[in-house]
Amino acid sequence: MSITEQEYTDLFQTEAGKKAIVRNLKGLVKTKGWTILMMYFKALVERQEGILHDINSPVGEEELQKIRIKLYYIKELMDTPEILARGILESKGEDIPDDVYE
C-alpha cells in the first residue's frame, strides 16, 4: 500500500497521524524485504571492516578514508527507520526537524 505526499502531510498534522507513520516505519523493519536489505548491508559492512582491520592490506590511506565514509553512511541507512521514527515522535512542529540525523 502506498501513500501520497498529501496523505503523509495530513498524517503529520496530528499526534495520532505521527504515531501511524511511526507504526508503519516499525512495520517496515519487520518485512522480508527489509531483512534481505539488512543482510546485504551487514555483509557489505563485514567486508569493508575486514579491509579496514587488515594490517597487511595494500589499501592506501585515501581508500581507507573512503571505506570509513562508506561504512558511516551504510550504518546510518540501516538505522534510518528508527532515527526517523524517533525524530517524528519528538517533533513539535508540522514537519520532521532538520536536525533529526544530527
- Domain boundaries defined on the chain: 5-92
Whole-angstrom distance, CA of residue 32 vs CA of residue 9: 27
Say how far apart CA 52 and CA 59 lie, in whole Å: 9
Closest CA to 100 of 47, 50, 28, 25: 25
C-alpha cell belonging to residue 11: 498524517
Q: What percent of the chain has pLDDT over 90?
A: 52
Tell me what pLDDT residue 44 has. Answer: 95
Cell numbers describing residue 9 = 502531510
Give the DSSP H or E segment for 71: helix 61-90
pLDDT at 12: 84
pLDDT, position 8: 83
Cell (9 digits) for 93: 512542529
